[in-house]
A and B are shown apart, each in its own frame.
Chain A
Amino acid sequence: MQEFLQQLVNGVAWGSIYSLIALGYTMVYGVLRLINFAHGDVYMVGAYAGLFSALWLRAGTEPSLGKALLVLLFAMAVCALLGVVIERAAYRPVRRHPRLTSLITAIGVSLLLENLGIVVFGARPRAFPEIVRSQRLELGSIVIGSHQFLVLGVALILMLLLQLIVHRTRIGKAMRAVSFNADAARLMGIPTDSVIAFTFALGSALAAAAGVLVGLYLPRVDPLMGLIPGLKAFVAAVLGGIGNIPGAMVGGLVMGIAETMVVAYLAPTYRDAIAFALLILILLFRPTGLLGKREVEKV
């Protein structure tokens, strides 16, 4: 039983990382109906931005809460900018083209980021500095690393902040309007281009946070680290209902727990397959996701 609880903790911590990345996917899909394949690689860039700022601030050798926070904010800022740039340069020109074209463009951006990462950062995996010292908390025989708490905590705070922005601010209202019906929103005077850019910035910032947290949690980064987690996070977003923000959070947690349980109790080599198996199941039986609304296709 103790072991099961420990595994649950493992799953929830891991799942919250998926949630953070999934949020970006779901928000962008909501406003643009685009699967931003490059999102996983934005997460990677966030991890590296965190890595370099941590090295520069010497946050690994002389850690402090302030420095850790700075590292996180820096990474989020860098990726927010990156997200806006990608949207402007690669996605906006193809916005009026068929969806397929946008999808392939997204794949192209993803490949570009990965390979630029290899060229610039080197393909070698690197150790992420320990910007927060790890402590062990023991509750009975369950040992929770402080990192697991941290990951959960930061993810929750960010998600709460996101909910606040989306539901309590004007820009959030604009985002919701654009995701409901972009043309009507524009007719109502909402600057859709700016709103879309903001959405990208927000989603990318969250991915960056996930990257920094993962750097701390694992602690390893490499240029291809965004590939598989990106896909799984997308599945998580679909699981929860694509376009649905609480859905992404739930989907991420479900994904994390499912994966952990499969690895712990079934076979570790099926870890990647579980994500896609879940995807197929959800697409077959409840395509709008766990929390999604039914969409009618108009002819």
Chain B
Amino acid sequence: MSAGIRFLRLLAIFGGILGLGTLLPRAVNPYLMQIITLSGINIILAVSLNLINGFTGQFSIGHAGFMAVGAYLSAAFTFYLGRDGVAALAAAGVPEGVAVSGFLLAGLILGGLAAALSGLLVGLPTLRLRGDYLAIATLGFGEIIRVILLNIDAVGGARGFADIPPWSNLTWVLVWSAVTIGVAWNLVHSTHGRAFISVREDEIAAEALGIDTTRYKVVAFVLGAFFAGVAGGLFGHYLAYLHTNSFTFIKSIEVVIMVVLGGMGSITGSVLAAIVLTALPEVLRPVREYRMVIYSLLLIVLMITRPQGLFGTRELGLGRLGRRLRDLSVAR
């Protein structure tokens, strides 16, 4: 694909995001905005988890732990340094919007990196584990991270972290969603992507063919964790309040359900499933008593009848046009 087309495509996406980000808040009430924003955050979570679970076949159910690390670290950064930093910069003549964005970006990246580090710490020891054991180990790590955060008073401890600067908004979420999807898509459609998939399909054969399965598994964890951390940062700065109750393994399971529903190995599936599963609880609020019962029944039925989820390993393509684009990008 020529550089020209790529540039135009990026411009279109960026323009679309800016447009949505500025117009939607005016057109739509704040409650609906909350659902849309949370959908965006869940998209980031689902796509990043799909990298680990779907494409690399490492069944991780501790994703909420990475999200929590990113959320708390970025919130602590902006809480303790952000406000004063913005004031200091304002005194030096920097416009407030720029300063705020700068600090938020720094916070998010820091949070993502911290989450990536914890992804490394989780990924390395669990390399030898398979299937069920891996799942439980990641669950355990997620819980340990949560309990550690619960005991840190500087970020609110057991009572929650209040009064976080509410600097994130839909535009930020959309930008990062696009980045996540872009990175995941490009990674998967490259030779690295084939390596990930080979680890999923038959790890021993892949190893025998000379693929460094260890490296790919760790990379999957680290990348997935990074984006989960960013999602967490966006989440914290949106709600302006954090509590470890939001990051229990139930949250991890919710993200897993999104990935499974969408199809493990389908990025567009994850995106759609994330949107649906964020909006669904709100729509079902009137029958909230039965909502979770319906949810869990749906999950069981889905597993029995269509375990590959909505899209399996396929993407929602644009038919022949989509296939041509994909072929072009692979042939680079």
A and B touch in the complex (CB under 8 A): yes
- Interface positions of A (Cβ within 8 A of B): 33, 35, 90, 93-94, 97-101, 103-105, 107-112, 114-116, 118-119, 231, 234-235, 238, 267, 269-270, 272-273, 275-277, 279-280, 283-284, 287, 297, 299
Which of B127-135, B213-221, B222-230 faces chain A?
B127-135
Taking a contact as CB atoms under 8 Å apart, the answer to whether A269 and B147 are in contact is yes
Residues of B within 8 A of A101 (CB): 303, 307
B307 touches A94 (CB 8 A): yes
Contacts of A110 in B (CB 8 A): 296
Q: List 8 A-B contacts (CB under 8 A).
A: A33-B132, A103-B131, A109-B296, A112-B300, A118-B289, A118-B292, A269-B158, A280-B137
B158 near A287 (CB under 8 angstroms)?
no
A103 CB → nearest B CB, Å: 6
Q: What residues of A have a CB within 8 angstroms of the CB of B139 in the complex?
A: 231, 276
> Would you call A116 and B293 a contact (CB within 8 A)?
yes
B300: chain A residues within 8 A (beta carbon):
90, 105, 108-109, 112
Complex Cα gap A270–B146 (Å): 10
We find that the number of chain B residues with CB closer than 8 angstroms to chain A is 40
Pair B147/A93 contact, Cβ less than 8 Å = no
Known pairs A111-B295, A111-B296, A273-B147; A100 contacts B131 (CB<8 A): yes
Of A93, A119, A270, A279, which contacts B293 at CB under 8 A?
Answer: A119
The complex places the Cα of A33 from the Cα of B126 at a distance, in Å, of 19
Interface residues of B: mostly helix, strand, loop or mixed? helix
Q: A94-B304, A115-B293, A119-B289 are in contact. Are A104 and B260 (CB under 8 A)?
A: yes
Judging by beta carbons under 8 Å apart, are B296 and A267 in contact? no
Interface residues of B in 246-298 (CB under 8 A from A): 249, 253, 256-257, 260, 289-290, 292-293, 295-297
Query: When A35-B132, A111-B295 are in contact, do A105 and B143 touch as well, CB less than 8 Å?
Result: no
A-side contacts of B151, CB under 8 Å: 267, 269-270
Residues of A within 8 A of B137 (CB): 279-280, 283
- Complex Cα distance A277/B125, Å? 13
Q: A111-B292, A112-B300, A269-B150 are in contact. List 5 more A-B contacts (CB 8 A).
A: A97-B303, A98-B307, A107-B256, A238-B133, A299-B204
Q: How far is the CA of A50 from the CA of B259 in the complex (A)?
A: 38
Q: Does B103 contact A (CB under 8 A)?
A: no
- The answer to the question of B59 belonging to the interface, with a C-beta cut-off of 8 Å to chain A, is yes
The reply to whether B299 and A104 contact each other, CB–CB distance below 8 Å, is yes
Contact residues, B118-161 vs A (CB, 8 A): 125-126, 128-133, 135-137, 139-141, 143-144, 147-148, 150-151, 158
Bound-complex Cα distance A115 to B284 (A):
15
* Contact status B132-A112, CB under 8 Å: no
B-side contacts of A238, CB under 8 Å: 133, 136
In this complex, which of A115, A275, A284 has the most chain B Cβ atoms within 10 angstroms of its Cβ? A115
User: In the complex the two chains form, what is the Cα distance from A287 to B134 in whole Å?
Assistant: 11
Tell whether, in the assembled complex, residue B144 and residue A104 are in contact, meaning their CB atoms are under 8 Å apart.
no
CB neighbours (8 Å) of B140 from chain A are 235, 275-277, 279-280
Provide the residues of chain A in CB contact with B204, threshold 8 Å: 299
Please determine whether B144 and A276 come into contact, CB atoms closer than 8 angstroms: yes
A115 to B297, CA, bound (A): 10
Point out the residues of chain B lying under 8 angstroms from A103, CB to CB.
59, 131-132, 135
Are B292 and A104 closer than 8 Å at their CB atoms?
Answer: no
Closest 9 CB pairs of A and B: A276-B140, A111-B296, A108-B299, A273-B147, A115-B292, A112-B296, A108-B300, A105-B303, A101-B307
**Given A234-B136, A280-B140, A119-B158 contact (CB < 8 Å):** no
Complex-state Cα separation, A33 to B130, whole angstroms? 12
Quick check: A105 and B59 within 8 Å, CB to CB? no
Evaluate contact between A104 and B303: CB separation under 8 angstroms.
yes
Q: Given A119-B290, A269-B147, A273-B147, decide whether A97 and B299 contact each other with a Cβ distance below 8 A.
A: no
Known: A238-B136, A269-B150, A283-B137. A93 touches B296 (CB 8 A): no
Partner of B136, one of A35, A273, A299: A35
- The answer to whether B131 touches A97, judged by C-beta atoms less than 8 angstroms apart, is no
Asked if A273 meets B260 with Cβ closer than 8 Å, knowing A101-B303, A280-B125, the reply is: no
User: Does B292 contact A273, Cβ atoms closer than 8 Å?
Assistant: no
Q: Are B129 and A287 in contact (CB under 8 A)?
A: yes
Known A-B contacts A104-B260, A119-B290, A299-B204; the reply to A279 vs B304 at CB < 8 A is no
User: What is the CB-to-nearest-CB distance from A290 to chain B, in angstroms, rounded to a whole number?
Assistant: 15
Given contacts A103-B59, A111-B299, A287-B128, contact A279 B136 (CB under 8 A): yes
B128, B129, B256, B299: residue with the most chain A Cβ atoms closer than 10 Å: B299
- Asked if A99 meets B147 with Cβ closer than 8 Å, knowing A238-B136, A283-B137, the reply is no
> Which residue from chain B places its CB closest to the CB of A280 in the assembled complex?
B140
Which of A108, A114, A299 lies in contact with B303, CB distance below 8 A? A108
Of listed B147, B150, B292, residue having the most chain A CB within 10 A: B147
Q: A109–B299 Cα gap in the complex (Å)?
A: 9
Smallest beta-carbon distance B308→chain A, Å: 9
Q: Bound state CA distance, A103 and B136, in angstroms? A: 11
Cα distance, A114 to B295, chains bound together (Å): 12
Most buried by B among A103, A270, A287: A103
Interface positions, chain B 285-332, Cβ under 8 Å from A, are 289-290, 292-293, 295-297, 299-300, 303-304, 307
B contact residues around A279 at 8 Å (CB): 136-137, 140
Q: Give the CA-CA distance A122 to B296 in the complex, in Å.
A: 18
A86 to B135, CA, bound (A): 22
Enumerate chain B residues within 8 angstroms of A119, measured Cβ to Cβ. Answer: 289-290, 293
Q: Tell me, in angstroms, the Cα distance from A217 to B143 when the chains sit together.
A: 26
By a CB distance below 8 angstroms, the chain B residues around A111 are: 253, 292, 295-296, 299
Task: Give the CA-CA distance A31 to B135 in the complex, in Å.
Answer: 19
